[in-house]
Structure 1
Amino acid sequence: MNNNPMDMMAAWMKIAASYNEMTLSAGEVIARRTMIMASGAMSAPDAMGILMEKVTIFATATEQASVAAASGADPARITAAALKPYSTQTESNLRQLRR
């Protein structure tokens, strides 16, 4: 574990930037999916997939954060491990919806 305050600050700033990017992408995903739902173009399996991805991502994020914590990672690395699955899925959803 690195206790250098500048390194810790840099790690948290990187997490904040990643979280901000994910939040902006999530907003666009929500807006696009809402338009699809409102137009009646979303199928029942697609709607169920949206629900199920939340459960899957939560489980994956919990697992990755737990592995990082068990490995002795510092809080910033644990947080980054937990955030990664959400960021990855949000970006994937956005790419699919922009097609």
Structure 2
Amino acid sequence: MISAHTQFQAARAWMDFSLAYGQMCVASAEIITRRCMRMAQGVMTGPEAAGMVLEKATAFATAMERAVVAAAAGAEPVRIASAALRPYSAKTRLNVRRLRR
């Protein structure tokens, strides 16, 4: 039987993951809005436009690598999901800070 403490830890890990995912989604919406505004105003640079496309592939590859490493190490599903989310969250936070300037 699983102890109450272990159940609490599992629930807490999923709540932490959900919060991180939610924060990333809100930040992503801000990034999309700011980039659309730049495109509409005609001030988006070529490197910014190229970066919009290339950053997805890079983040995906990094996320999958970290998820596979966590899975191969026998991590719990929430740890695998969290490992995969971190590269996306990091890139999203970086973009929000940069685009707010």
Tell me which of the two structures has the higher relative contact order, counting C-alpha pairs closer than 8 angstroms and 6 or more residues apart.
Answer: 1
Q: TM-score, normalised by structure 1?
A: 0.94
Q: Does 1:77 align with 2:79?
A: yes
Q: TM-score, normalised by structure 2?
A: 0.93
CA distance in 2, matches of 1:35, 1:54: 20
Tell me the matched-pair count. 98
The answer for unaligned runs of 5 or more in structure 1 is: none
* Residue equivalent to 2:69: 67
Give 1:93 shift.
0.1
- Output one character per residue of 1:13-45: Cα deviation in whole Å (capped at 9) or x when no partner: 000000011111110010000000111111222
* Residue equivalent to 1:36: 38
Give 1:96 shift.
0.2
The answer for unaligned runs of 5 or more in structure 2 is: none
**What's the C-alpha RMSD, in Å, of the aligned pairs?**
1.3
Moved over 4 A (4+): none
* Residue equivalent to 2:7: 5
CA distance in 1, matches of 2:34, 2:60: 22
- From 3, 7, 18, the counterpart of 1:16: 18
| Secondary structure, counterpart of 1:65 in structure 2 | helix
Q: Percent identity at matched positions? A: 48
